[in-house]
Amino acid sequence: MTHWFHRNPLKATAPVSFNFYGVAGSPSANKICNDLRTTRARLLEMFTDTTCNPEIMKNATDAYFSLLQGFIAPLDGTTQENKLRFMQNFKWTDTLQGNTPSAQQDAIFELISMAYNVAIWQTKFASRLEVHIPRLITPAEKGRDLEPRVIDTYIVQCQAEAQEVTIARAIELKHNATLIAALAFETANFYQKADGTLNTLEPECSSKWRKYLQLKQHFYMSYAYCYHGQTLLSSDKCGESIRSLQEAEKCYSRAETLCKEYRQTKGPGSTAKPSEQLFFTKLGGLIKNTLQKCERENGFIYFHKVPAEAPQLELKASYGLAEPISFEFPALSEQCTPEVYATFDLTKGAKDEKAKPKREEEVIKPMKEPDLKPQKDTGCIIS
């Protein structure tokens, strides 16, 4: 099976019972706890269900988050912290750190961690995750998913991959070379920015991811130089066109090398095989054929000198840039009323999980993600 995109693994989590015996002092309070348990389990099932679609995922997410916010939003008419926020301990793995979890007794940690998984599953929502992070009591450790370098990389990668779809569509619809070159150049810059964000992260957890980002950067720089070369040729700048296509050839060769290095690098996540995709291999043929055409025309018609330096790309796409879709948390569940909130008595029943003696380092079983096989490879379908 071949893939175009690199994907780090989904976050895994320990089961949560929400059993607040004694604390939940009314049938309505008990029902909220039971519904939290079942909606959480349902949402976790959706992450690995091959039949799940965005609408099903949204419904499952809304069902759980609308209840979970009853442990976060003030319900007693004051501005003080919700008294239920620190009742339950939550454990989540990190996408770059293997199966050893982070744990916080904090409903906001659960909200962010679950939303992170939703964002990985449906990456268009990733740019909206940061709004709750400053409220966490326990700061993120280096290399963990809530650390700014990791979050920022995911956000920029999401932008770059959304842009890839735009490029594939522009090529398929035979838009002008100037636009395609500009889109490819901006996409390459996204990947370069994402790679730069990870450059201070420990190599053992980031090297594989960085190789992927680097190969994509060089691949789209190759696209940019190739289509820029076509633009230069159409403007009768044959010598500059040849130099641009030579640079495209150089970037493409570097992308091929990085594909091999990426496959050989150990690290978290699936191993994509972009060099085996038609969308990748077609570019190599396009560069070769276009360069040969330019060299022939220069030998018969133009007789231009080929510059020693590659052209400086200062390309801006006038349209076609991918725009993020805003993510909004659902409204508070109708079950979470001030009256029901008042029936939770923290002086009874539930024990502080922080007081439990430390055990050996816990390991959480990773999520078994479905192996989705592509149905068709046209050279522009990149999912």
pLDDT of the residue at 165 = 87
Phi then psi for residue 24, to 5 deg, are -75, 100
Q: Return the top range by mean pLDDT from 36-40, 132-136, 343-347, 362-366.
A: 36-40
Please tell me what DSSP assigns to residue 201.
S
Region of residue 275 (phi > 0: left; psi between -120 and 50: alpha; otherwise: beta): alpha
pLDDT of the residue at 371 = 66
The Cα-based distances of 286 to 249, 279, 281 in angstroms read 10, 11, 9
Say whether pLDDT at 254 is over 80. Answer: yes
Q: Label residue 272 by pLDDT band (50, 70, 90).
A: confident
Per-residue pLDDT tens digits for 329-371? 899 999 999 999 999 999 886 555 554 544 556 788 888 877 6
- In the chain, what are the domains? 7-125+327-364 (1.25.40.280), 174-301 (no CATH)
What is the rounded CA–CA span in Å between residue 126 and residue 323?
A: 12
What is the rounded CA–CA span in Å between residue 95 and residue 366?
A: 10
User: Is 222 within 8 Å of 275 (Cβ atoms)?
Assistant: no
Say whether pLDDT at 4 is over 80. Answer: no
